[in-house]
Structure 1
Amino acid sequence: MIEIKNLKKVYGGVTVVNVPQLTIAKGESIGLVGNNGAGKTTLFRMILDLILPEAGEVLSNGEVVAGSESWKSYTASYLDEGFLIDYLTPEEYLYFIGGLHQQSQPQVDETLAQLGDFFNGEILRTGKYIRDLSKGNQCKVGVASCLLQNPQLLMLDEPFANIDPSTQFRLKNMLKDLNKSKGITTIVSSHDLNHITDVCDRILLMEKGVIIKDIATSSSTLNELEDYFGVGQTFTAAVKVDEEENH
């Protein structure tokens, strides 16, 4: 579904993304992990034609995304609150998004009714503008707007970062259901290794703009990622210090 060829982005003389080749098949659930500055968001923005690469190209269903429009009809994404119209209420914004996809207000209401647990009573009929919502609740609005579009491809950047544990659990179940039951291709970035390995069947580990590992998720993937990012070493060191202090 997504094919990347010799994709490169440079800022201030520094190459921040360098992906010679990457293929994501239709129906795959992809997790993108990496430290801050790894290039994850920049890669997302090039896939969505929000920024232009210095070299290379991104194809969606065989069509180069740069300068084309058809891929937008089946692609939904939420990267940050900049994707929202913050002077609208959540209802106004969601009706607007639904209207762009030929949905009537009752049809939008039907979809939103199914998201009651996800919203947790904090989004609709509060009288607040989107700009007055917390970042976590803005994320909920962004995710809901994606679902209204009935996409074939869903891209979310750090969706677990600002939402509460209950909503994280609900979002994980939603993403798994969208992928398994509806065959939606999902690409999700996250710093939370537990969530990303639970939701995604394939993990791309990115560092300094390069995808250095492409891992099929298994029972050992979480440990492998924790070892890479130093979680295991940090824990071991802490235990050792504690033992030394008590002896």
Structure 2
Amino acid sequence: MEIQIHKLKKSFSTKVAVDIDSLEIPDNTLLGVVGNNGAGKTTLFRLMLDLLKPDEGEVHLTFRMKDGSTYGTNVNVDEEWKKYTGAFIDESFLIDYLSPEEYFEFIAKISNITKEELSEHLQRFDAFMNGEIIGQNKLIRSMSAGNKQKIGIISSLIHSPQLVILDEPFNFLDPTSQNILKKMLVDYNKETGASILISSHNLMHTVDISNKIVLMEHGRIIRYITENDENTRNELEQYFNKD
């Protein structure tokens, strides 16, 4: 799927949170969005998911259907695109009075996935869950921050979306889980051709897995790196060490 952003603006009082004149993200992209606190990364993701209404501009998504046709829409025009999109921004996406099993079943039900299919899907995440999610007789609200993060990430991928948006997915995860997640995202991108957008303060992980990188500052894109090569890490490290 492809993403086109045109003259997208969002302000909170006098503070400009996002001001992007133009951005095109082609099909089969694993995009890392980096920047310091207040750069506008989360606000951009919320605008893309229609969780915030822009002051101006639009986000246009184009999905490729199984029959070879395409379906395109602006995210604030209809709801159809949500069938092909998976996202996890923060804990507010979870229903914390459910168990992980109940929550996964809920996601499967609204995605028209049978219990048998759900069981098969969840097997893909065995290593990531590490025996700490399923069968624990716990509600989500009683689980650790890291396990809540895992539940949110897994739920965003259960229905095999064409677009995946993850805000700070490496937060709260131990190093082993971070490495498993990196491999999961790279493999998913290669196997499905889905576009995956992640934001992260962890520059190393972002550079490792992304084939394109957007650097944001004060709501604006100051660098769009379309070829992630050996110079990319040095360039970004120089930016973040400039002070």
Runs of 4+ in 1 over 4 A off after TM superposition: none
| Percent of residue pairs identical | 46
How many residues matched?
232
Is residue 47 of structure 1 aligned with residue 66 of structure 2? no
Q: Which amino acid in 1 is paired with 2:150?
A: K
8 Å CA contact 2:113, 2:159 repeated in 1: no
Q: Distance in 2 between matches of 1:225 and 1:162?
A: 23
Q: Distance in 2 between matches of 1:111 and 1:191?
A: 29
Compute the displacement of 1:26 (Å).
1.4
Residues 167-178 of structure 1: pairs in structure 2 closer than 5 A: 167-178=177-188
State the Cα deviation string for residues 88-123 of structure 1 (Å, max 9, x = none).
Answer: 000000011011111111211111122111001111
Unaligned stretches of 5+ in structure 1? 235-247
Partner residue in 2 for 1:164: 174
Q: Distance in 2 between matches of 1:39 and 1:167?
A: 27
Partner residue in 1 for 2:234: 223
Compute the displacement of 1:67 (Å).
3.0
Normalised by the length of structure 1, the TM-score is 0.92
State the Cα deviation string for residues 18-44 of structure 1 (Å, max 9, x = none).
Answer: 000001111111000000010000000
Q: Which amino acid in 1 is paired with 2:222?
A: I
Partner residue in 2 for 1:16: 17
- Residue in structure 2 matching 1:210, options 195, 220, 224: 220
Is residue 25 of structure 1 aligned with residue 26 of structure 2? yes
Q: Which amino acid in 2 is paired with 1:192?
A: N
Q: Distance in 2 between matches of 1:28 and 1:71?
A: 18
Compute the displacement of 1:13 (Å).
1.4
CA RMSD of aligned residues (A): 1.1
Partner residue in 2 for 1:57: 58
Compute the displacement of 1:228 (Å).
0.5
Q: Distance in 1 between matches of 2:75 and 2:144?
A: 33
Q: Which amino acid in 2 is paired with 1:133?
A: M
Is residue 117 of structure 1 aligned with residue 118 of structure 2? no
Which stretch of the first structure deviates more once superposed, 144-153 or 204-213?
144-153
Partner residue in 1 for 2:67: none
Q: Distance in 2 between matches of 1:109 and 1:185?
A: 24
Q: Distance in 2 between matches of 1:120 and 1:220?
A: 35
- Residue in structure 2 matching 1:133, options 133, 143, 153: 143
Residues 57-206 of structure 1: pairs in structure 2 closer than 5 A: 57-61=58-62, 62-206=72-216
Normalised by the length of structure 2, the TM-score is 0.93
Q: Distance in 2 between matches of 1:187 and 1:20?
A: 19
Q: Which amino acid in 2 is paired with 1:117?
A: A
Q: Distance in 2 between matches of 1:134 and 1:217?
A: 34
Higher Cα Rg: structure 1 or 2? 1
Give 3-state SS (helix, strand or coil) of 2:136's partner: coil
Q: Which amino acid in 1 is paired with 2:50?
A: D
Q: Distance in 2 between matches of 1:147 and 1:34?
A: 25
Give 3-state SS (helix, strand or coil) of 1:204's partner: strand
State the Cα deviation string for residues 63-104 of structure 1 (Å, max 9, x = none).
Answer: 111031111110100011100100000000001101111111
